[in-house]
Every structure is written in structure tokens, then in C-alpha cells.
Amino acid sequence: MKRFYQMVEASNRRFPDGVEPFQMATRLLEECGEIASEINLWENSGIKRQKHGDPKKENIANEIRQAMVELVKIACYYHVENELEQSIEKSINQSKLEGLID
Ligand SMILES: [Mg+2]
């Protein structure tokens, strides 16, 4: 999570006027749309490959990272970093209790 917080801090410094909740939500949806576009390319749906060529791991990974940063920005905006980490820990512990992971 530390690296995400660092990316959030850097982004907020680079774009200080874009830190309002609806702006973050809009960017999150935009990034989700770009992930959907990458999935379209990976699944060879429509004419995407003819237009853009073969899918690249780096591109879909970048879009996923951008969406994740926007989610963490929202968590930081509402100061729920501790609650987010507790929620992640609780989910992992529950999965361990259920024997789903080690
Ligand atoms: Mg993007």
C-alpha cells in the first residue's frame, strides 16, 4: 500500500486542481473504460486488433494501476487508509479461515 500512497501523493502534487471527489470518481470511471478497451483488445473483440495491433501486457497493467491509484486517492480523500488496510486484512484472514488460501 505504501507505494500506492506515494503515487497518490505525487499525483496530487502534479495535479493539485484535480483532487475533488467527483473529479476522482470521473477519472476512475475513465480508467475503467480504458481497462474495458484493453480487455476488448485482449479478447480480440470487434476491430480493436486491426486498429491497434496485438495486446501488450504493459498497457493493460498501466490501465489497471491507474484505476487502482484513483481508488486509493478516494480512500485518502476521506481519510480511511487505516480502515482500508483493516478491511484488506480482514478479507485475507477470512479467506485463510475458510481454507481458500494459505
Ligand atoms: Mg489510463
Q: Specify the pTM.
A: 0.89
Distance 16 CA to ligand 1 centre (A): 18
Distance 30 CA to ligand 1 centre (A): 7
Distance 71 CA to ligand 1 centre (A): 13
pLDDT at 75: 96
Q: What is the pLDDT of residues 28-49, one digit of tens each?
A: 999 999 999 999 999 988 767 7
pLDDT at 38: 93
Q: What is the pLDDT of residues 75-91, one digit of tens each?
A: 999 999 999 999 999 99
Distance 61 CA to ligand 1 centre (A): 10
CA distances for 72 relative to 20, 21, 26, 46, 58, angstroms: 13, 12, 14, 32, 21
Average of per-residue pLDDT across 6-14 = 92
Percentage above 90 pLDDT, the chain: 80
Distance 97 CA to ligand 1 centre (A): 36
Domains observed in the chain: 2-97 (1.10.287)
